[in-house]
Structure 1
Amino acid sequence: MMTQTMVKPSSWISTGIITAKVRDRYLFKFSETLQERLDNLNECLKGIGLNDQEKAELAGILELDQIFTLLNAKIISES
């Protein structure tokens, strides 16, 4: 098993997480700033590559994205 360093997803609680009303329920989403950062990291990954710190940041954001996907699916299924 390979160990991967990542920025803790909880580090974005105060600045990177919002809830948005979608139809009749509130779902978790990235803030505009965090979404832009994710897009930027993905572009760099495709182009010039990422340094270790950026790789750790991207891994944390992607982990948070997986968490949101699961939480939002649960919210939708229980409505």
Structure 2
Amino acid sequence: MAIAVVKPSSWLENGIVVTKVNNLNFFKLTDELQARMQELVDGKQADSLTPEQAAELEAIGELIVIVTYMNGMIANEAQQSQENETWEQKLDKN
């Protein structure tokens, strides 16, 4: 029996949104995808997941790793940019 492989990229259009936090744009899972993940986690804890559901949960977990990595890169870039500002640039902001 072949198990359908779920790819994290299958949720790029409908599973991720961009949210603004302190003037930075971060990626996050949609409420619907977060709810689906919770359903799957609950199923795993109850030991009642089908192989297809287990593959789906694994793919969502991989997507979370990717989104977390990208958000870390965004935050790091913003921090470095802030640290590299000259004192004149900082005064101009005030």
Question: Normalising by the residue count of structure 2, what TM-score does the alignment of the two structures yield?
Answer: 0.75
Q: State yes or no: 1:58 paired with 2:18.
A: no
Where does structure 1 lack aligned partners over 5 or more consecutive residues? none
Equivalenced residue count is 75
Tell me if structure 2 keeps the 8 A contact 1:7–1:56: yes
Over 2 Å off, 4+ runs: none
1:1-79 superposed matches below 5 A: 6-79=5-78
Cα drift, residue 23 of structure 1: 1.5
SS in 2 for 1:61: helix
Alignment RMSD = 1.2
Alignment check: 8 A CA contact 1:20 1:27 kept: yes
Structure 2 residue runs without a partner (length 5+): 79-94
Contact 1:19 1:28 in 2 (8 A): yes
State the structure with more CA Rg.
2
Q: Percent identity?
A: 37
Q: Using the TM superposition, name which of 53-62 and 40-49 deviates more.
A: 40-49
